[in-house]
Amino acid sequence: MTRRECREHLMIMLYQREFYAKEELPEQIELYLQEITSPKQGDLDYIQEKYKKTIECLEEIDDMIEGVSEGWKLKRMAKVDLTIMRLAVYEMKYDEEIPVSVAINEAVEIAKKYGQDSSPSFINGILAKIAYMIEKG
């Protein structure tokens, strides 16, 4: 499985958080993982670990997104866009193996597939501001 495919699965798992009660999520995530066709154990481990770490940082990630999205509250954002940005911000800030430019590019590509027509440019703009903020420290 490619890293982009792993990201897409991860994005879908994070997206499920928007629709299931907290106590239902572990079962829903497990069911989703079981439906992945012929996964390698290393890929499943990568997806599960990254999911867990992203969730742990979610409050700070959301604060960063809301802090740079002028005039946009998280509740007003498309859930797909928000989920894609959450994953990208996690990669940009907390995953040292992934360069910031790669995290942004992957988010834009995933937005082209799953978002609306305006999603890629919206996501790119927000992530560019966050990248600048991270760079400045």
Distance CA 95, CA 97 (A): 5
> Residue 87 sits in a domain of what CATH number?
1.10.940.10
pLDDT band at residue 137 using 50, 70 and 90 as cut-offs: confident
- Rounded to an integer, what is the distance from CA 3 to the centroid of its chain? 13
Rounded to 5 degrees, φ, ψ at 90 are: -55, -50
Q: Which tens digit of pLDDT belongs to each residue from 55-87?
A: 999 999 999 999 999 888 999 999 999 999 999
pLDDT of residue 71: 82
Q: Which tens digit of pLDDT belongs to each residue from 76-131?
A: 999 999 999 999 999 999 999 999 999 999 999 999 999 999 999 999 999 999 99
Residues 6+ apart with CB under 8 A from 130: 64, 65, 68, 89, 92, 93
Domain limits at 104? 3-136
Task: Supply 91's token pair.
Answer: 């990669």
Q: Total structural domains in the chain?
A: 1
Listed residue (76, 70, 64, 80) closest to 112, CA to CA: 80
Task: Supply 24's token pair.
Answer: 């239902």
- Computed over its alpha carbons, how large is the radius of gyration of the chain? 14
